[in-house]
Amino acid sequence: MDVKLRFLLNGVLQEITQDHSLLTLDWLRREQKLTGTKEGCREGDCGACLVLLGQKPLEGADYPIEWIPVTSCLLPLDELDGRHLITIEGLSQDGPGAIAQILHGENASQCGFCSPGIVVALTARLIAGGPVDSAALDAALEGNLCRCTGYASIRRSSALVAQRFADLSGDYGQRIAALAQRGVLPPALAQTMVSLPKPAGSPRSDRLKPFEKHRDTTILLGGGTDYLVRHGQREAEVHLEYLDLEDHNRAIFRDKDTLVLGSAVTDHDFFTSTEVQKLVPGIEALEAEVASPAIRSRATLGGNIANASPVADMTAMLIALGARVRLWESPSGKNRDLPVEDLFTGYKKLALREDERIAEIRLPEASRARAFSFEKAAKRARLDIAAVNTAMACDLETGLGSRLRNVRISAGGVGPVPQFLRQTSALAEGQEVSPDLVRELCRIAVQEIHPISDVRGSAEYRTTMIERFIIAHFLRLFPESHLEEELFK
């Protein structure tokens, strides 16, 4: 039979000839008997099923292989083609590794259910490159929940890992070798982490080739972090097309004065892109506001938009940045562009024609940096869906009496669709920053929104938060204006 999937599992080549509708978590536990990967929430929240995934990086990346932590409960087995999957068993081929020993020494394992995911998360951070410090390692653990409430001992362990491995080289080969020598990676496994297997499938390389449907039951999937929560038990008759397996769908490039983002660019790709950071200085600091590391490494911009949630964080940011979506139609190959906000026609409804799909997200005026602010209210400080969110982007003229230009303010959770606050934004255009302007913007914004009461907050709460967040945008972007003294007398 023809090989359907070819990938490495803990350094060993796997070639699968039958079609699989399993999620990776179920395949590991049921068919491979690798039960160190635990089944917890099956929604990508707890981190107990975390695995390490090696894949081809974006063009221009520093390392030849990108290693990301992934929740295997939201990872279709089909997605492993041409990749390298490492589980806790792979990291423990020679017995408990250095990270597991540190956790054990600090009594951080307790019942042990969450420990495999924690080891994987810390290992992923050590491999990924960049500085190794307590802040970076604590951030890597944001998606790992401990049901024994052992966070103090886990954080002590994280700090010890940071101390021990702070001197890792920035060179990929040297880093992998050092991690093997110092007991984080088994030497035999490390030797297999220098290249990826050739995929059994043949991803299309032509960026303009139109999408071709297999049959009426085809579903185009980005990272699956929403769809697979709702459809965890895959239906055999449903065919999933994985957009992230095609290089052009993860591409980030300039087209004259437009920054083009493929539909399968992940949240992590977005925040860490040097091109995005040039356009929006400081935006990388906002990555922690969105989901967890494991979800950000899989969730895509196109999927976030297509999900059509009124409180999607990335959609709120993209609307404020003036993003447009390029829609491609199959089989004609025609395309059309729409502002992101015009794609939504109602709650969870999109203005997509038959056979159209989101192909690209395009950010205009990429030649100049934008001032940008994002605010979000949720029941938890991290890893939670917003009750209300909003973003603001603008240009600011330099010099005395500078005025706001190209103002865009978005709002989520205040109506059935993510909103571009047109009247509010128009009122700010060309104005000097002042307390009176901010008060008037709050008044107009309240008139534009139509919030409802639900389990995440009342309509009154959402109205108040929009007012507060507009003030927060100006306090964040214009601290030298001393607005706080006037607005909170």
141-198 confidence digits (pLDDT tens): 999 998 887 899 999 999 999 999 999 999 999 999 999 999 999 999 999 999 999 9
DSSP 349-394: EE-PPTTEEEEEEEES-TTS--EEEEEEE-SSSSS---SEEEEEEE
Q: Report residue 205 as tokens.
A: 């390389």
3-class SS of residue 311: coil
* Residues in contact with 45: Cβ distance below 8 Å, sequence separation at least 6, in sequence order: 143, 145, 292, 383
Instruction: Quote the CA–CA distance of 486 and 230 in Å, as a whole number.
Output: 48
Domain residue limits, the chain: 5-190, 203-287+296-369, 370-489
End-to-end CA distance of the chain: 76
Question: What are 22-51's pLDDT values in tens digits?
Answer: 899 999 999 999 999 999 999 999 999 999
Handedness of CA 405, 287, 323, 277 (dihedral sign): positive
Return the number of other C-beta atoms located less than 10 Å from residue 181's C-beta: 11
Residue 462 to residue 68: CA distance in whole angstroms: 36
Q: What is the CATH code for 370-489? A: 3.30.390.50
Over residues 220-230, mean pLDDT: 86
pTM: 0.92
More confident residue, 409 or 489: 409
Quickly state the pLDDT bin for 392 (edges 50, 70, 90): very high
Lowest mean pLDDT among 86-95, 300-309, 396-405: 396-405
Domain 203-287+296-369 fold is: 3.30.465
Strand order in the sheet with 66-71: 12-16, 5-9, 84-86, 50-55, 66-71
E strand or H helix that includes residue 277: helix 274-279
DSSP 456: T
pLDDT of residue 106: 93
452 alpha carbon, distance to own chain's centre: 28
The alpha helices in 29-97, defined as continuous H runs, are: 88-91
Looking at the chain, how many residues does it have?
Answer: 489
Predicted confidence band at 236 (pLDDT cuts at 50, 70, 90)?
A: low
User: Does position 208 have pLDDT exceeding 50, yes or no?
Assistant: no
Mark 362-396 as b/e (b = at least 16 C-beta within 10 Å).
bbeebeeebbbbbbbbbeeeebebbbbbbbbbbee
Decide: 361 and 321 in contact? Cβ < 8 Å: no
d(CA 458, CA 454): 6
Q: Give CA–CA dist 372/190, Å, rounded.
A: 41
Q: Calculate mean pLDDT across residues 460-489.
A: 89
Q: 5-190 sits in which CATH class?
A: alpha beta
- Those residues whose C-beta lies under 8 Å from the C-beta of residue 202, and which sit 6 or more positions away, are none
